[in-house]
Amino acid sequence: MRTIVGMATIGQTPRIDVVPAMERILGPEVKTIQAGALDGLAGDEIKALAPAPGEQPIITRLRDGSSTLLSHQAILPRMQRCVDDLTSQGAAFVVMLCGADWSEVRSDRLIVNPGKLFPNTITALAAGRRLGIIKPDAGQIEGETRRYMSLGIEAHVTSASPYLGDARIDAAREAARYLRDRKVDLVWMTCVGMDEQMRRAVQEEMRRPVILAQALLGRLVAELVAGVDSRVPAAA
Q: Report pLDDT digits (tens) over 36-46.
A: 999 999 999 99
For residue 188, list its beta bridge partners: 133, 211
Q: Binning pLDDT at 50, 70 and 90, where does residue 235 land?
A: very low
Q: What is the pLDDT of residue 2?
A: 87
Q: Binning pLDDT at 50, 70 and 90, where does residue 227 land?
A: confident
What value does the mean pLDDT of the chain take? 94
Phi, psi for 201 (deg, rounded to 5): -60, -40
Which DSSP string corresponds to 210-226?
EEEHHHHHHHHHHHHHH
Which DSSP symbol is given to 109? B
CB burial string 111-136: b at 16+ within 10 A, e below = bbbbeebbbeebbeebeeebbbbbbb
Cis peptide before 77 (omega within 30 of 0): no
Question: pLDDT tens-digit profile of 186-207?
Answer: 999 999 999 999 999 999 999 9
User: Which of 82, 119, 81 lies closest to 101, judged by CA?
Assistant: 119
Would you list the domain boundaries of the chain? 3-114+216-226, 116-212
Question: pLDDT tens-digit profile of 130-177?
Answer: 999 999 999 999 999 999 999 899 999 999 999 999 999 999 999 999
Topology given in CATH for the domain delimited by 3-114+216-226: Rossmann fold (3.40.50)
Q: Binning pLDDT at 50, 70 and 90, where does residue 229 land?
A: low
Torsion of CA 53, 54, 56, 61, to 10 degrees: 30
Rounded-to-integer distance, Cα 170 and Cα 158, Å: 14
Rounded-to-integer distance, Cα 209 and Cα 206, Å: 9
What superfamily does domain 116-212 belong to in CATH?
Answer: Response regulator (3.40.50.2300)
- Asked if domains 3-114+216-226 and 116-212 share a fold, the reply is yes
pTM for the whole structure: 0.92
For residue 94, list its beta bridge partners: 6, 111
Question: pLDDT tens-digit profile of 70-123?
Answer: 999 999 999 999 999 999 999 999 999 999 999 999 999 999 999 999 999 999
Looking at the chain, the number of H-run helices and the number of E-run strands are: 8, 10
Rounded-to-integer distance, Cα 159 and Cα 134, Å: 5
Rounded-to-integer distance, Cα 103 and Cα 168, Å: 30
Q: Binning pLDDT at 50, 70 and 90, where does residue 232 land?
A: very low
